[in-house]
Amino acid sequence: MVDSPLLTPLYHWHQAQGAKLVPFAGWQMPLQYAGIVAEHLHTRSAASLFDVSHMGQLLLTGRGADRALEQLLPGDIVGLAEGRMRCSLLTLSHGGILDDLMVVRLPSQEAESQGAVSRLHLIINAARRQVDEAHLRAHLPPDVQLEVLSNRALLALQGPTAAAVLAPLSPKAIDLPFMAAAELMVGDIPCLVMRSGYTGEDGFELSCAAENAVALADLLIAQEGVLPAGLGARDSLRLEAGLCLYGHDIDEQTNPVEAGLVWTIAKHRRDDSQGFLGAAAVLSALKNKAAAGARQRVGLTLAAGNPPAREGAVIENLAGQPIGVVTSGGFSPSLQLPIAMGYVPADVAAGGVQVVVRGQRYPATLTLLPFVPNCYVRPTKP
């Protein structure tokens, strides 16, 4: 049986914009409009509009929803203030990563006799929707309700002029610092506005009712300097920003420590080996992250003029011994040279290596991530 592809509410909008549509994680999505490099560079210099409605949106509600979710991930959710959001990882009992996700704490609601009810808006990867939903249903207690928000769209407005573009349409939105969220009107469309993204640039992600998605896209694209961008640019932008792509750079066999995602493990949760699913394995990896056999996610650059080292390319030391594999790689439009991410032993995570592309060896340099500095708008300390 061949399932027909899923379509976002903007499918016909993409066609009208001249998008090249391709299958992705069961969805028919825009790969590009004007071209990946042009869209990439426009996002770094102005603002681009991305349809990311294929991502899953879930609502968790219940008095103990925050505490219950903390049993499944290493982040601080109980301490997450209303209107703030956090990137986290659903972990498995052996310490692997089930998915990476965004957790947004919406304002609590007062319910009769229950007191304050936590409301958490989750954004999960398209390819992990069924897996995550089953995992959450299996592990969350019965007094936490899980609602799949299947009638919502998600648009991302990304780039250095994103705030200036949004200011006249949603004046309060631009007061949000990075990783803050609020339910606001954008024009006359109610949205959950989040100051976040997957490009390394300042920007916003806007969740709205599916029925308003076309109107929201039309409104944003009509603003000066805003152009549509597809999944191709989204991938090259996130690679430059050093951000992981689930199923490539992280998966069920990767632990958060080797993936360089220790920052997702809340400081006060690093001593409790029963604190969350897989805590014993994750915390053991944290203690032993420099031990023999430990791997580390690293960046690689090749000199301009060399071929891109793509996913699966073997990384060798200068003696020609295989030491790792590229998990994401391509051409950096900003730097005009090939960049990649991959895993190598933690004790060689710097210096010169070589990568094998179609049987040929090319020199590469292990580097810190990101390749292109992030430009997030950090909250100002009072």
What is the contact surface with another protein in residues (CB under 8 A)? Answer: 31-32, 35-38, 40, 232, 235-236, 305-308, 310, 330-331, 333, 338, 358
Smallest distance, another protein to C-beta of residue 232, A: 5
- Which residue in 235, 226, 55, 52 sits closest to 129, CA to CA? 55
SS3 per residue for 128-192: HHHHHHHHHHHHCCCCCEEEECCCEEEEEEECCCHHHHHCCCCHHHHHCCCCEEEEEEECCEEEE
Q: Which is nearer to another protein, 93 or 365 (CB)?
A: 365
**HSE-CB for 358 with a 13 A CA cutoff:** 3
Q: Give least dist CB 36 to another protein, A.
A: 4
DSSP string, 235-269: HHHHHHTT---BTTTB-TT--TTTTT-GGGS-GGG
Residue number with CB closer to another protein (39 or 205):
39
Which amino acid type is present at position 366? L
Closest distance between another protein and the C-beta of residue 230, in Å? 10
- Sign of the Cα torsion 158, 162, 165, 166 reads positive
361 burial type by CB count under 10 A (0-12 exposed, 13-18 middle, 19+ buried): middle
Rounded CA separation 226/219 (Å): 10
Query: Residue 20 CB, nearest distance to another protein (Å)?
Result: 8
Instruction: Give the nearer residue to another protein in terms of CB position, either 15 or 273.
Output: 15
Query: Cβ closer to another protein: 89 or 237?
Result: 237
CB of 327 to another protein, least distance (A): 16
Cα angle 251-277-200, degrees, rounded to a multiple of 5: 45
Taking the least distance from each CB to another protein, the nearer of 115 and 359 is 359
Identity of the residue, 108 or 306, whose beta carbon is nearer to another protein in the bound complex: 306
Q: Residue 221 Cβ, how far from another protein at the closest point, in Å?
A: 21
